[in-house]
Amino acid sequence: MNTTHDKLVILDRDGVINHDSDDYIKSTEEFVLIDNSIEAIIDLKKSGYKIAIATNQSGLSRGYFDLKELQKMHDIINKKLSKYNQKIDIIEFCPHLPEVNCECRKPNPGMIYKILEKLAINDLQNCWMIGDSLKDIYAGQEADLKTLLVSTGKGEEILSTPSLFDKIPKSTNIFKNLDEASKFIIKNTLRE
């Protein structure tokens, strides 16, 4: 009997798709895509993967930008993808400050669970979380996804700081960027 595995990649945004900043990405002017990140998403989509974004955006609660500006940033991604008849399937964001202790802010897996529910995904064998921080990796692992860390964004600091490097779960593969991570996923996709 043939069964079809659900295929999903959940991406962190800042530091994975676009360049990150310690001062927050507050506008479309500051929203600069990382080389080949759009192409990586297109490759995954062409391989049958649904793509979701799960991103902590406490800058909303801090008043650094509003929902309209956040939407404009996400429109940049989808506009680039639309040239290839593709789009992000779901974008979830957490607007809360860390001290709120909400369920949605990574490292909590609330956004991931919401994505899995909205996309009606039950089979997690081909479900991945790609991030540049330990928060991303921990959220993915908590939700039983396979996890990949990229060295763009905060990933470089984690890889070069022994005390942080030691906190990377052993099952997490490490890649230079989203492009390399996507190639690994496509190569390691479980077939029917």
Residues annotated as catalytic are: 12, 14
- DSSP-assigned letters across all residues of 22-73: TT---SGGG--BPTTHHHHHHHHHHTT-EEEEEEE-THHHHTSS-HHHHHHH
Strand, coil or helix: 7: strand
How many Å apart are CA 31 and CA 14, to the nearest integer? 9
The closest of 84, 72, 66, 77 to 13, measured between CA atoms, is: 77
